[in-house]
Amino acid sequence: MSLPPIGRRTFVAEAAGGLLLCTLGGKRFSTNEEVSVETLNEGLEVPPKVAAARANGGTAPGQAVLAKATATNEYWIQAEQMKWDIVPKGRDQMMGVQVKGKTTFKAWGYRLYSANFAQPLGKATVPGPLLEANVGETVTVHFRSKLDTPVTMHPHGLQYSVDMDGAYKGKYTDPGGFVQKGDEVTYIWEAVPSAEGVWWYHDHGPSEPLPVYKGLFGPIIVRDPNKPRPDKEFFVAFHSFQPAATGLNQPFYCINGRAYTGNTPNLKANVGDDVAFHVYAVDDYFHTFHIHGHRWVPPVGGPTIDNVTLGPGDVTTARFTEDNPGRWLYHCHVWSHIVQGMSGWYIVE
């Protein structure tokens, strides 16, 4: 049976064992085998529109279709490889135990730069930088890559024309859907009124979902400037680092690139604060977001809850007035994910 070079792939994942079995480019990979970019790229053809744009000396920026954009939020972002420690403290602070085994690998991250890529603004991180806009504004991202495999940025929630999709579509791929090493594209996305809320972006290139599993994702928020902003606002990515993406010998269930209390973000608020947790789910699993000692009415209304289910790609906001001081836990309530790292401290003073 012959398969197209990259287009056909399936990921079969099992939460409890952290098993990640996948078929990429017609090749099968198992838990103990790190998927190599070189293998992935074998036989990968440059889509015709991408090749044509390159032959013309670059990729054309897209057309903004929002007639009365009030402002442009402009970002310069580069995809890079970096050393990333999933458990930098080496311990699960809550359990008071050491996390055994290797926890550092070569992750991929989105790195923010100053205008015209003059200089990096900090390190590449997992997740990538927050993209912000008010309704009626545009988000412009100048994106380039230092990675060996073509990658992209694909936003959820925002409005854009089809060439701004940042997605690989085989021979129908636009330049923004196949950004090769050293190339640069400009994405223009619009914060139309219906885009108000929290979203996320991620790689959607020909090797997906591997780059996403290596760290290529980040949050987006579109605000109505006439509505009050929370006093404390947290962006929380629920995801996992699987052996097939890391080459490590165990899976880690993570919050913002880290696993286990004391390593995952220590979130802090004060009594009286208007607090918002924006939570998005990145990988193949369903996750549930839970905070101890607190409850909230979900954005869609309905009964008060203290636990909410997120499927892959889902985003939710838990917003409440803080009234309960102490050292609390926030975590995914899938038990097998908790014991593999998906838990953090929420400290209220």
Q: What angle do CA 270, 274, 279 make, to 5 degrees?
A: 100
Edge-first strand listing for the sheet containing 307-310 = 267-269, 343-348, 326-332, 287-291, 307-310
Q: Which residue's CB is nearer to Cu ion, number 164 or number 282?
A: 282
Contact in structure between 275 and 322 (CB atoms under 8 Å): yes
- Comparison of 287 and 294: residue with beta carbon closer to Cu ion: 287
Helix, strand or coil for residue 172? helix
Q: What are phi and psi of 261, to 5 degrees?
A: -55, 145
Nearer to Cu ion, 287 or 290 (CB): 287
Please identify, using beta-carbon distances, which residue of 189 and 238 lies nearer to Cu ion: 238
Q: How many residues bind Cu ion (CB under 5 A)?
A: 4
DSSP state of 247: -
Give the shortest CB-221-to-Cu ion separation in angstroms. 22
Phi, psi angles (nearest 5°) of residue 188: -120, 120
The whole-angstrom separation of Cα 293 and Cα 85 is: 30
Strand-pair partners of 92: 97
Helix (H) or strand (E) holding 337: helix 335-338
Which residues within the stretch 16-55 sit at the binding site for Cu ion (CB under 5 A)? none
Residue 222's φ and ψ, nearest 5 degrees, are -120, 120
User: Which residue lies nearer to Cu ion by CB, 237 or 332?
Assistant: 332
Distance in Å, CB of 163 to Cu ion, minimum: 35
Binding of Cu ion at residue 111 (CB under 5 A)?
A: no
209, two tokens: 């979902």
Q: Is 202 an interacting residue with respect to Cu ion (CB under 5 A)?
A: no
CB of 240 to Cu ion, least distance (A): 8
Indicate whether 290 belongs to the interface with Cu ion (CB under 5 A): no
Of the candidate spans 31-39, 43-51, 53-61, 332-340, the one that interacts with Cu ion by CB under 5 A turns out to be: 332-340
The span from the CA of 142 to the CA of 74, in Å, is: 8
20, 255, 310, 334: residue in contact with Cu ion (rule CB under 5 A): 334
- Window 134 to 163, contacts with Cu ion (CB under 5 A): none
Nearest to Cu ion of 188, 255 (CB atom): 255
Q: Which of 144, 154, 202, 287 is in the footprint of Cu ion by CB under 5 A?
A: 287
Instruction: Return d(Cα 105, Cα 272) in angstroms, integer.
Output: 40
Using CB under 5 A, which of 337, 343, 344, 348 touches Cu ion? 337
Question: By C-beta, is 258 or 337 nearer to Cu ion?
Answer: 337
The stretch among 126-134, 151-159, 203-211, 286-294 that binds Cu ion (CB under 5 A) is: 286-294
Q: Min. distance of Cβ 337 from Cu ion in angstroms? A: 3
* Phi, then psi, of 246 in degrees rounded to 5: -110, -25
C-beta closer to Cu ion: residue 259 or 267: 259
Q: How far is the CB of 342 from Cu ion (least distance, A)?
A: 5
CB of 326 to Cu ion, least distance (A): 24
Cis peptide before 127 (omega within 30 of 0): yes
Min CB(208)–Cu ion separation in Å? 21
Per CB under 5 A, does 332 bind Cu ion?
A: yes
Q: Where are the beta strands (DSSP E) in 183-296?
A: 184-190, 197-202, 217-223, 232-241, 252-255, 267-269, 274-281, 287-291
Closer of 144 and 337 to Cu ion (Cβ) = 337
Alpha carbon of residue 349 to chain centroid: 30
- Contact 305/273 with Cβ under 8 angstroms? no
What is the nearest approach in angstroms of Cu ion to the Cβ of residue 281?
A: 8
Q: Which tokens is 313 given?
A: 């790609």
Residues that bind Cu ion (CB under 5 A): 287, 332, 334, 337
